[in-house]
Amino acid sequence: MASSNDKHIKQYVISVKVENRFGVLARVAGLFSARGYNIDSLAVSATEQDDVSIMTIVVRGDDRVIEQVKKQLNKLIDIIKVSDHTELPTVEREFVLLKVNALPSKRAEIYQLGEIFKADIADISHKTITLGVKGEPENIDTFIELMRPYGIKELMRTGRVSLLKE
């Protein structure tokens, strides 16, 4: 029974409910780092239950390896539930803070684009504007691309959070 050597690299969104305790994040991250996988984004937060945290992990990898990582995650004592959101109907949101070059002559354009994305103007200086945009990760990608020609000075994304649809 030959195992396939083909690499099926794709992006996965894994949602992990964990005990709200010290050390859990290191255990989870260790399973990825031990395989040489870089986590694209990771959001950790409180949930409706005080003693439960949730992690949304976005990672690229070979499907067999990710399958194995999910099983290994399930084996961790402090992990309550692992769900793979990759192929499931979900609502996803992410937030970006982006500082872009904006000389007075360009401000109006940037405002206009920002409005389309319902951006917050978080800060403004003589040479820059800092905008905050929330939305689906793909919209954030688009917004960043639109800002790129103006010269992005700094950018930071929170990483996505993902909930299954009812």
The label of the residue with tokens 């200086």 reads 125
Six-digit token string for 41: 């984004």
27 contacts: CB under 8 Å, gap ≥ 6: 76, 78
Is there a contact between 121 and 129 (Cβ–Cβ < 8 Å)?
Answer: yes
Query: Which residue, 51 or 123, has its beta carbon nearer to another protein?
Result: 51
Kindly tell me which of 39 and 144 has the beta carbon lying closer to another protein: 39
User: Which residue, 41 or 68, has its beta carbon nearer to another protein?
Assistant: 68
Residues contributing to the site for another protein (CB under 8 A) = 1-3, 5, 18-19, 22-23, 26-27, 30, 34, 67-68, 71-72, 74-80
C-beta of 22 vs 105, nearer to another protein: 22
CB 7 to another protein: min, Å = 14
CA–CA distances in Å: residue 37 to residues 12, 59, 77, 106: 12, 8, 22, 40
Residue 53 beta carbon to another protein: minimum distance, rounded to whole angstroms: 12
Closest separation between CB of residue 11 and another protein, Å?
22
| Nearest CB to another protein, comparing residues 74 and 136 | 74
Distances in Å between the alpha carbon of 137 and those of 21, 61, 110?
Answer: 29, 19, 20
Q: Which two tokens stand for residue 118?
A: 């319902």
Rounded-to-integer distance, Cα 75 and Cα 10, Å: 23
Residues 6 or more apart whose CB falls under 8 angstroms from that of 50 comprise 20
- Single-letter residue type at 153: K
Q: Name the minimum Å distance from CB 16 to another protein.
A: 10
CB of 141 to another protein, least distance (A): 34
